[in-house]
């Protein structure tokens, strides 16, 4: 007699953790440093995001719209630095 194996549920395609984190950064106005795929680094505060890009506001420099697919990683930097 063959046992029927229940098919394991498919994992969610999106966890929404990115959205929560970006909202947190915006609310706290946390300074971040963004490493881009071409190894350029920019820093500022995330002011806006959507599905495809984030907007970084910078002091004394133009604000940037950065496509998410161009971001290697980003991290918070010390506000006192």
Note down the domain range covering 42: 35-81
Judge whether 69 lies within some domain.
yes
Segment 41-81, tens digit of pLDDT: 999 999 999 999 999 999 999 999 999 999 999 999 987 65
Number of domains in the chain: 1
Judge whether 25 lies within some domain.
no
- 3-state SS, the chain, equals CCCCCCCCCCCCCCCCHHHHHHHHHHHHCCEEEEEECCCCEEEEEEEEECCCEEEEECCCCCCEEEEHHHEEEEEECCCCC
Judge whether 61 lies within some domain.
yes
Judge whether 8 lies within some domain.
no
Judge whether 51 lies within some domain.
yes
Q: Determine the pLDDT at residue 40.
A: 97
Distance CA 81, CA 65 (A): 24
């Amino acid at each position: 007699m063959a046992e029927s194996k229940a098919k394991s549920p498919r994992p969610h395609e999106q966890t929404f953790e990115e959205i929560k984190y970006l909202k947190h950064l915006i609310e706290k106005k946390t300074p971040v440093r963004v490493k881009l795929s071409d190894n350029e680094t920019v820093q500022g505060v995330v002011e806006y995001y959507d599905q495809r890009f984030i907007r970084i506001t910078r002091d004394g420099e133009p604000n940037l719209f950065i496509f998410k697919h161009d971001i290697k990683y980003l991290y918070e930097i010390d506000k006192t630095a």
